[in-house]
Amino acid sequence: MHRIIALTLIALVLAACSPSSPSTPASGSATGPTSQATRTVPSLRIAILNDESTLTPYTYRFGYPGLQMLYLVYDTLMVLDAENTPKPLLASDVKIGPDGTTYDLTLRTGVTWHDGKPLTADDVKFTFDYFLANPKGSFTTPLRQVATVTVTSPTALSIRLRDPNPSFPIRALATVPILPKHLWESVEGARVNDYAATVGSGPYKLVEANPNSAYRLQANTSYMLGAPTVTELIFPIIRDQNTAFQALRSGEVQAITRETPAELVNQFNSGPFKVAKGPGFASTLLQFNLERAPLDRREVRQAIDYAIDKRMLVQTLLLNLGTAATPGFVHPDSPYHDPAVNLRYDPNRAKSLLDGIGARPGSDGTRVLDGRPLSFTLLVYSNNPTRIRAAELISGMLKEVGITATVRAMDADSVDALVWPDFDVAKGRNFDMAIWGWSAPVQVDIGRLVDLVHSDVRIGTSNIGGFKSAEADRLADQLRTTADESTRKRLAQSIEQLIATELPFVMLYFADGAYAYRADAYDGWVYQKGQGIFTRLSFVPAMNR
């Protein structure tokens, strides 16, 4: 158990504000796995945007980078490699039964928790039971299909699913963090209000934390795959983008988890700096509250979609370092994408749709439908200049077709409280529209479409707009239980077509991944396709082999 001493954070924060001297460079690059010659560096400071609370599976706040920080502390049974292929991690062997419903796992021997106690199959069973008894959407949802977990020895267990689920290795085995039973069995209702529960078996130990200032992680030198390549990771919280990049220039930090804005990429691609580039699966979209009239009218949502020029957004905001999104959510380069779902932009078509439902321009040019002006508040994070500019451009595009969208920039906590209170869709929503985004894992696994569209709040854990469709539920239920790959692709494309028609949200773009760092401090980064370089792969070379 790690004692968190807040006073020592004073020294930590002061250190994070002083210039750094170059550390021993590590071999490898940010385009693929590092070589076995990667050398250890003593310390690395990586700027993050916001605090991640107590950094447990129940308290981390953001899918990025919070979840990746979580995985530095907690291990999973499998891990996604740089190509997003699941490979054994805590499990040394995974055997899938012929009918796709049985998973027999053998755990690595000699694995211990950070407090020195042994990790056993009982911990795995406890974790599954705990997440099911104390729901946490991103971890509980993929476990709902588990019928039984049988421990056959201290290092072996058998998992039986109710139905075949080919997404199970990605969604559950490579995603669900394993909890130490001896600590969490006394945590009732997942109420975690201190750092006592932040104990895992991962490559790093959380040793100091102040959610308003910084986090410090120390390498687990006895880690089962070998000691990490960086002995100490410090994550200072720098909320302002300009301040963060100035800190990188001066050497106060050696990397930044936020993507590098397109206009800065060339500046950070010379001298001591490098920019790791790769495909980006993180989405940016315009989210609707479908429980609020007139956004409950499909024609209004369709008109908004037709009014927005997604290619112009990519050209203007991303300087073409990205991909314009087609309306069905699935990335255009995904093997599941239906090529018949095409990019749309037609302001005249938008006007025609609004005319067709009787939305006529009022005296100020804003259309009025059923006695109510088509006037909305558009929420956006105040610490994201690119999204703010996107909101402003979209507001101008909508004005051209008679829709008023007033941009309101707020801090992330305030926006989240209105759009996704406590990250629980069962708690409702209180907004009109918001510039939103989902982190890369949502795009990596096609099964996540179920989370986005299912109306059952226990299943549609990412359905933040309150979308309801009997057809979507039917297709989603089939997708989450079908094992045949060709059938899954057909179902996914059917859901993609349905999203493109019903438009519970309007897809905008996928920004390419571009992450600036100081190569003179550390150059052992590994680019995980669609997810970037700030993952455990960059610090544990054995995970890439």
Tens of pLDDT, residues 26-67: 333 444 433 434 578 999 999 998 889 888 999 888 888 999
Per cent of the chain over pLDDT 70 is: 93
The verdict on 101 and 84 lying in the same domain is yes
Q: Assess if residue 196 is contained within a domain.
A: no
65 prior amide bond cis, ω within 30: yes
What region, left, alpha or beta, does residue 251 occupy, with left being phi > 0 and alpha being psi -120 to 50 degrees?
left
Q: Which two tokens stand for residue 279?
A: 């495909």
Domain interval for residue 148: 75-190
The verdict on 213 and 101 lying in the same domain is no
In this prediction, residue 195 carries a pLDDT of 72
CB-count burial class (<10 Å; 0-12, 13-18, 19+) for 98: exposed
The verdict on 217 and 356 lying in the same domain is no
The verdict on 359 and 425 lying in the same domain is yes
Q: Say if CB 114 and CB 2 are below 8 A apart.
A: yes
The verdict on 118 and 133 lying in the same domain is yes
CA distance readout (Å), 500 to 23, 29, 335? 50, 38, 17
Given strand 505-511, what is the order of strands in its sheet? 322-324, 505-511, 283-288, 433-438, 375-381, 404-410
Q: Say if CB 41 and CB 229 are below 8 A apart.
A: yes
Helices and strands (H, E) in the chain, number of each type: 16, 22
CA distance readout (Å), 502 to 26, 294, 307, 372, 379? 49, 14, 16, 22, 22
In this prediction, residue 485 carries a pLDDT of 84
Q: Assess if residue 278 is contained within a domain.
A: no
Q: Assess if residue 249 is contained within a domain.
A: yes
452: amino acid identity, one letter = L
Please count the other Cβ atoms lying within 10 Å of the Cβ belonging to residue 298.
15
Q: What are phi and psi of 397, to 5 degrees?
A: -65, -40
Please, which residues bridge with residue 511 across strands?
A: 322
- CA–CA gap between residue 354 and residue 359 (Å, rounded): 5
The verdict on 317 and 181 lying in the same domain is no
Q: Which helix (H) or strand (E) holds 391?
A: helix 385-399
199: amino acid identity, one letter = V
CB-count burial class (<10 Å; 0-12, 13-18, 19+) for 14: exposed
The verdict on 491 and 345 lying in the same domain is yes
Q: Among candidates 52, 373, 62, 74, which has minimal Cα distance to 214?
A: 52
Q: Say if CB 87 and CB 81 are below 8 A apart.
A: yes
CA distance readout (Å), 476 to 126, 162, 345, 452, 455? 29, 16, 28, 9, 10
Q: Among candidates 273, 544, 307, which has minimal Cα distance to 403?
A: 307
Q: Which residues, including other chains, have CB under 8 Å from residue 111's CB and lie 6 or more apart? A: 75, 90, 118, 119, 201, 224
> pLDDT by residue (tens digit) across 311-363?
999 999 999 989 999 999 999 988 899 999 999 999 999 999 999 999 999 99
The verdict on 475 and 537 lying in the same domain is no
Residue corresponding to tokens 């109306």: 455
- CA–CA gap between residue 418 and residue 132 (Å, rounded): 26
CATH assignment of the domain containing 357: 3.10.105.10
CATH assignment of the domain containing 178: 3.90.76.10
The verdict on 326 and 412 lying in the same domain is yes
Q: Which of 190, 213, 243 is the last residue of a domain?
A: 190
Q: What are phi and psi of 13, to 5 degrees?
A: -65, -40
Into how many domains does the chain fold? 3
- CA–CA gap between residue 386 and residue 376 (Å, rounded): 20
Q: Assess if residue 92 is contained within a domain.
A: yes
Q: Which residues, including other chains, have CB under 8 Å from residue 10's CB and lie 6 or more apart? A: none
In this prediction, residue 90 carries a pLDDT of 98
Q: Assess if residue 10 is contained within a domain.
A: yes
Q: Which two tokens stand for residue 448?
A: 């996540």
Q: Which residues, including other chains, have CB under 8 Å from residue 492's CB and lie 6 or more apart? A: 330, 336, 446, 449, 479
Q: Say if CB 257 and CB 534 are below 8 A apart.
A: yes
Q: Which two tokens stand for residue 545?
A: 């082999």
Q: Assess if residue 276 is contained within a domain.
A: no
The verdict on 314 and 453 lying in the same domain is yes
The verdict on 473 and 357 lying in the same domain is yes
Which stretches of the chain drop beneath a pLDDT of 50? 1-37
Q: Assess if residue 277 is contained within a domain.
A: no
Please count the other Cβ atoms lying within 10 Å of the Cβ belonging to residue 267.
15
Q: Which of 190, 211, 228 is the last residue of a domain?
A: 190
Q: Assess if residue 417 is contained within a domain.
A: yes
Please count the other Cβ atoms lying within 10 Å of the Cβ belonging to residue 229.
22
The verdict on 304 and 428 lying in the same domain is yes
> pLDDT by residue (tens digit) across 60-100?
888 889 999 999 999 999 999 998 899 999 999 999 999 88
In this prediction, residue 87 carries a pLDDT of 95
E-strand ranges in 424-530 read: 433-438, 505-511, 513-518
CATH assignment of the domain containing 224: 3.40.190.10
In this prediction, residue 278 carries a pLDDT of 85
